[in-house]
Every structure is written in structure tokens, then in C-alpha cells.
Amino acid sequence: MEDEGDVATAFTLARSLSHIPISRGGPTSLVIFDIHALQERFYFGDAILPCFESGIPLLKSRLQELPDSDNIAIAFPDDGAWKRFYKQLQHFPMIICNKVREGDQRIVRIKEGDARGRHVVIVDDLVQSGGTLIECQKVLAAHGAAKVSAYVTHGIFPNKSWEKFKPDNGGMYPSLAS
């Protein structure tokens, strides 16, 4: 939560959406992309029919179009992201990172996998400020990644934190340049 009145939990939001009246054809369909935790599907009332989709097929299609598509590895910033997405991306080499938060500081380490010489794509469902993405990029670059990109379904970026991803005057993205 950033400000008074922000929705604090997925449960609260699901309860609010569950008060949408039933439509003429029955429950109202609500499409949700890359739900953060599968148990959240049970938070909705009978007036809502949640339909779960994923952006991963779009990502896979885009990755296949890249000139270095045969050199891509997928990195997950934590075990949660790996659990959500590894089955859909198992034909790519994988790198699993471990994230620990100490106050505002994020410490990221590579738990398993090899980034050397690869175009590594960090995949996650939710990004708040982007701090974990940046720390993950630094670790992957330090372990020899040739290039680091990121795919995230839900970018929140409070307090203009997205600005750290804007290119500088030289056309580079200073925080994610490798």
C-alpha cells in the first residue's frame, strides 16, 4: 500500500469485484493474467467467473523472433516466479536466483544455472519498484550474461520508480545495461 485507501490485498479486491451483479447470461467473466498465487482464484464470489490466462505464450512467440533466439536463457528472480512459470518455459535453459530483502536493500544471488554468454530474460509476474530486477541484472551481468532483458506481466512502479528504466542521452538504459 502506498496511500490511504489503496486496496491492501487480493482478497479485498476480489471481494469488491464479487459484488458486480450477475449478468443476463450468468456470472460476469473476469480475465486475470498470470495470477500471483493460485489460491486467489477462490477469493471470488459466485457472481464472478474468473478466467485465468498467461502472457507467457506471447513472450515465447516474441523470443522466437529474436536474432539470438538460440542463445536465450530464462532467469527467475526467486523461487515463486520459477514455480509459476517454469513449466511453460522448460525448453529454455533456466537460471534461478535467490532474493533476500534487508530493509530497502535487495540481495540477489544465483541459486542455479549459468548465465555466461547468454541473452538472459528475467521473467516475473509482478514488479513494484523494479529494485529486484536491477539487482538480478547486476548479478547476471557479473556472471557473464551477454545481454539482460526482462518480461513482467504486472508493473506497478509507484512514485515514478519506472524512471530508472528510461534511456539516458546515449540511448542506453543505465540500470539494465550490461
Residue 170 within any structural domain of the chain: no
CB atoms within 10 A of CB 169: 5
Whether 38 and 112 map to the same domain: the answer is no
**Which grid coordinates are listed for 39?**
489460491
For residue 7, the model assigns a pLDDT of 54
Shared domain check, 156 and 70: yes
Sign of CA dihedral 164, 166, 172, 178: positive
106's grid cell: 535487495
Whole-prediction pTM value?
Answer: 0.80
Report how far apart the first and last C-alpha atoms of the chain are (Å, whole number).
Answer: 32
Mark whether 38 and 98 lie in a shared domain.
no
Does residue 154 contact residue 128 with C-beta atoms inside 8 Å?
no
Q: Are 36 and 46 in the same domain?
A: yes
17/44 Cα distance (integer angstroms): 8
32-44 tens-digit pLDDT: 887 776 677 788 8
Q: Is residue 20 part of a domain?
A: yes
Q: Is residue 147 part of a domain?
A: yes
Q: Is residue 4 part of a domain?
A: no
pLDDT tens track for 108-130: 999 999 999 999 999 998 888 88
71 and 126 in a single domain? The answer is: yes
Q: Which residues lie below 8 Å from residue 125, measured CB to CB, with a gap of 6+? A: 34, 35, 36, 81, 84, 85, 152, 153, 154
* Cα(89)–Cα(58) distance, integer angstroms: 12
For residues 110 and 78, state if they share a domain: yes
pLDDT string in tens for the chain (178-residue length): 556 665 567 777 788 888 888 888 889 888 888 777 667 778 888 888 888 888 999 999 999 999 999 999 999 999 989 999 999 999 999 999 998 878 877 789 999 999 999 999 999 988 888 888 999 999 999 999 999 999 998 888 888 888 888 776 444 444 444 3
In the chain, how many domains are there? Answer: 2
Residue 169's pLDDT is 44
> What is the torsion angle, in degrees rounded to the nearest 10, for the CA atoms of residue 112, residue 70, residue 87 and residue 177?
60
- Residue 88 resides in a domain: yes
Rounded CA gap, 136 and 122, in Å?
8
Task: Judge if 48 and 60 occupy the same domain.
Answer: no
Domain annotation covers residue 173: no
Statement to judge: residues 18 and 68 lie in one domain: no
In-domain check, residue 64 = yes
Whether residue 106 is contained in a domain is answered as: yes
Residues 108 and 31 in one domain: no
Domain of 44 in residue numbering reads as 9-53
The enclosing domain of 60 has a CATH number of 3.40.50.2020
- Please spell the DSSP secondary structure of 104-163, one letter per residue: TEEEEEEEE---TT-EEEEEEEEESSSHHHHHHHHHHHHTT-SEEEEEEEEE--GGGGGG
